[in-house]
């Protein structure tokens, strides 16, 4: 262990070694996840102060590289970055259907030559962040890649659940909707299964993969799936990825897999309702549920900033760019 001369060494003053990138929950250890979640609670305190900014990443530069439209994730990252005092560069790339490996490589190499320390990337191709992480020295944070993962969302969901329920262990968590296209659902399954939560995936059979190798129960009947659940996570129906006949109409979808008050009663009395946003009110969730006291949807938004600050703090290391 390298000891810096600047501080007396305390045995209990533990230091933590972090990874270079956060590309997915799949690639992160349980210890990494626990560390991020515990660090996030300190950052949540910062967000409650009058002065919500800390000088931690002064002099560092972050690029938000979004190849897919995003409002809330991008805003959340940008706020987290600003509150950590890094300089922020928004590199918006017009939506294009296919970005070839090589041009993505060139884009990222160009950005790296600007001397950035963090690259936050969202891309429609699964695995794009992994590809970039292998090719740059900057820390890469996945803000959603294709139908693969959205790790910071799963982290903020876990943080929110722990905040409300005390822990993840032993909870029954129902994830409802288009699991197949949902990177949020996948990251959540990877994370929750590490913490011994009981996971139920509920939705039309065309949209719910079995997820072999993970301890999940797949159900198409929502009433059965919600029974005694501690947490109900609703997923957004991704209209932009439909049109291949996964389900007949949105009205019919709501009738079978939408969450309204009557259905929510099948879950535990104090069940938590979550949604990663943006919501399609009346399609996957009724307004009454979304605005109810059981809804943690706005807590998720607030916690997202704290969790992203924690991730960036923990990934920051000695100047990769000299």
Partner 1 sequence: MPGMTKELLNKKDIERILSRMAHEIIEKNKGTENLYIVGIQRGGVHLAKRICTRIKAIEGVDTPVGSLDISLYRDDLGMRKEHPVVRRTNIPWDLTDKKIVLVDDVLFTGRSIRAAMDALMDFGRPSQIQLAVLLDRGHRELPIRADYVGKNIPTSRGENIEVQLEEDGREDGVYLVLSGEDA
Give the active site residues: 72-73, 100, 122, 150
The answer to whether residue 4 forms part of the interface with partner 1 (CB under 8 A) is: yes
Helices (H), 172-260: 183-194, 222-226, 250-257
Q: Smallest gap, in angstroms, from Cβ of residue 321 to partner 1?
A: 11
Q: Smallest gap, in angstroms, from Cβ of residue 309 to partner 1?
A: 9
Quick one: DSSP state of residue 285? B
Q: Which is nearer to partner 1, 259 or 309 (CB)?
A: 309
Which residue in 19, 54, 89, 218 binds partner 1 (CB under 8 A)?
A: 54
Report the interhelical angle of 30-47 vs 297-315 (nearest 10°). 110
List of long-range contacts for 78-83, beta carbons under 8 Å, 24+ apart: 79/305, 80/305, 80/306, 80/308, 80/309, 80/312, 81/57, 81/118, 81/120, 81/312, 82/53, 83/46, 83/47, 83/52, 83/53, 83/54, 83/305, 83/309
To which residue do tokens 């198409």 refer?
Answer: 220
Strand partners of residue 281: 285
- Per-residue contact string for residues 216-245; x = within reach of partner 1 by CB under 8 A: ------------------------------
Copy the structure tokens of residue 30: 């349980």
Q: Which is nearer to partner 1, 85 or 242 (CB)?
A: 85
The answer to whether residue 293 forms part of the interface with partner 1 (CB under 8 A) is: no
Determine which helix (DSSP H) or strand (DSSP E) holds 158, and give its type and residue range.
helix 151-165
Q: Which is nearer to partner 1, 125 or 152 (CB)?
A: 152
Q: Smallest gap, in angstroms, from Cβ of residue 45 to partner 1?
A: 6
Copy the structure tokens of residue 202: 């509920």
Quick one: DSSP state of residue 241? G
For partner 1, how many residues bind (rule: CB under 8 A)?
41
Measured CA to CA, the distance from residue 89 to residue 91 in angstroms comes to 6
Q: How far is CA 104 from CA 62, 111, 201, 312, in A?
A: 18, 11, 34, 23
Q: Which is nearer to partner 1, 185 or 310 (CB)?
A: 310
The answer to whether residue 313 forms part of the interface with partner 1 (CB under 8 A) is: yes
Task: Specify the pairing of strand 272-274 against strand 231-234.
Answer: parallel
**What's the first-to-final CA gap in the chain, in angstroms?**
22
Q: Which is nearer to partner 1, 42 or 287 (CB)?
A: 42
Q: Return the range that interacts with partner 1 (CB under 8 A); candidates 51-59, 154-162, 242-250, 285-293.
A: 51-59
Which residue in 26, 30, 31, 42 binds partner 1 (CB under 8 A)?
A: 42
Determine which helix (DSSP H) or strand (DSSP E) holds 273, and give its type and residue range.
strand 272-274
Measured CA to CA, the distance from residue 76 to residue 85 in angstroms comes to 14
Q: Which is nearer to partner 1, 16 or 98 (CB)?
A: 16
Which residue in 51, 166, 240, 245 binds partner 1 (CB under 8 A)?
A: 51
Residues 14-33 binding partner 1 (CB under 8 A) are: 14-18
Which residue in 8, 71, 97, 249 binds partner 1 (CB under 8 A)?
A: 8
- Report CA torsion sign: 187, 173, 175, 258: negative
Q: Is the link from the previous residue into 278 a cis peptide, with omega within 30 of 0? A: yes
The answer to whether residue 49 forms part of the interface with partner 1 (CB under 8 A) is: yes
Q: Return the range that interacts with partner 1 (CB under 8 A); candidates 11-19, 69-77, 153-161, 270-278.
A: 11-19
Q: Which is nearer to partner 1, 49 or 212 (CB)?
A: 49
Which residue in 21, 27, 46, 99 binds partner 1 (CB under 8 A)?
A: 46
> Which residues make up the interface to partner 1 (CB under 8 A)?
1-18, 38-39, 41-43, 45-46, 49-51, 54-57, 59-60, 310, 313-314, 316-319
């Amino acid at each position: 262990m390298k000891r810096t001369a600047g501080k007396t060494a305390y045995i209990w003053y533990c230091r933590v070694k972090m990874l270079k990138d956060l590309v997915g929950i799949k690639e992160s250890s349980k210890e990494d996840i626990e560390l991020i979640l515990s660090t996030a609670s300190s950052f949540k305190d910062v967000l409650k102060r009058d002065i919500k900014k800390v000088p931690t990443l002064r002099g560092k530069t972050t690029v938000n590289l979004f190849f897919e439209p995003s409002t809330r994730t991008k805003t959340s990252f940008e706020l987290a970055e600003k509150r950590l005092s890094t300089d922020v560069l928004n590199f918006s790339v017009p939506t294009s259907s296919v970005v070839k490996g090589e041009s993505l490589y060139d884009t990222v190499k160009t950005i790296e030559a600007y001397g950035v320390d963090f690259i936050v990337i969202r891309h429609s191709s699964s695995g794009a962040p992994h590809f970039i992480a292998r090719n740059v020295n900057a820390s890469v944070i996945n803000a959603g890649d294709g139908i693969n993962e959205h790790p910071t969302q799963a982290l903020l969901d876990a943080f929110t659940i722990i905040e409300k329920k005390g822990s993840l262990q032993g909870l029954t968590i129902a994830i409802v909707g288009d699991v197949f296209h949902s990177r949020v659902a996948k990251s959540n399954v990877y994370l929750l299964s590490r913490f011994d939560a009981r996971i139920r995936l509920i939705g039309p059979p065309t949209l719910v993969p079995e997820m072999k190798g993970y301890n999940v129960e797949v159900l198409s009947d929502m009433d059965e799936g919600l029974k005694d659940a501690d947490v109900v996570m609703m997923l957004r129906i991704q209209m932009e990825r439909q049109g291949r006949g996964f389900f007949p109409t949105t009205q019919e979808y709501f009738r079978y897999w939408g969450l309204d008050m009557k259905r929510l009663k099948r879950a535990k009395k104090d069940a938590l309702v979550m949604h990663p946003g943006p919501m399609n009110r009346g399609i996957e969730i009724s307004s009454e549920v979304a605005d109810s006291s059981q809804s943690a949807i706005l807590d998720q938004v607030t916690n997202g900033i704290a969790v992203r600050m924690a991730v960036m703090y923990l990934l920051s290391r000695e100047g990769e760019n000299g």
